[in-house]
């Protein structure tokens, strides 16, 4: 794996683009280690930005009887449908 494949390194590179060098290198190292301790080895789901607008749209369109239709329309699973309805 290269550094470009590492989400934590990529995250801090993006932070630097937005906020510059406000985080000291020693603090960045500490934060990276904390993140690796907490999430290292796990698959992590990062919600796409458009999912929130999709969830809002699904809640508007849901009439209590059209779950399957909306699942097909938006290409989502039953579980994802209910997460969108619930707002998670």
Can you tell me the distance from the alpha carbon of 16 to that of 33, in angstroms, rounded to the nearest whole number? 18
Does 76 map to a domain? yes
Domain that holds residue 27: 3-39
Contact 84, 55 (CB under 8 A): yes
Can you tell me the distance from the alpha carbon of 37 to that of 12, in angstroms, rounded to the nearest whole number? 16
Does 27 map to a domain? yes
Domain co-membership, 32 together with 56: no
CATH of the domain at 71: 1.10.10.60
| pLDDT the model gives residue 71 | 95
First to last CA, the chain: 32
| pLDDT the model gives residue 67 | 96
Does 44 map to a domain? no
Domain co-membership, 33 together with 59: no
Count how many domains the chain has.
2
Q: What are the pLDDT tens digits along the chain (88 aa)?
A: 555 578 899 999 999 899 988 888 899 999 999 999 998 888 887 767 666 788 999 999 999 999 999 999 999 999 999 999 987 6
Instruction: Tell me the pTM.
Output: 0.49
Domain co-membership, 53 together with 28: no
| pLDDT the model gives residue 4 | 55
- At residue 48, φ and ψ (nearest 5 deg) are -75, 150
């Amino acid at each position: 794996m290269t550094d470009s494949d590492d989400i934590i390194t990529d995250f801090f590179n993006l932070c630097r683009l937005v906020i510059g060098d406000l985080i000291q290198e020693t603090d960045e190292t500490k934060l990276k280690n904390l993140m690796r301790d907490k999430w290292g080895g796990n698959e992590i789901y990062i919600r796409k930005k458009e999912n929130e607008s999709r969830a809002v749209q699904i809640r508007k369109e849901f009439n209590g009887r059209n779950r399957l239709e909306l699942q097909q329309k938006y290409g989502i699973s039953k579980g994802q449908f209910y997460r969108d309805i619930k707002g998670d």
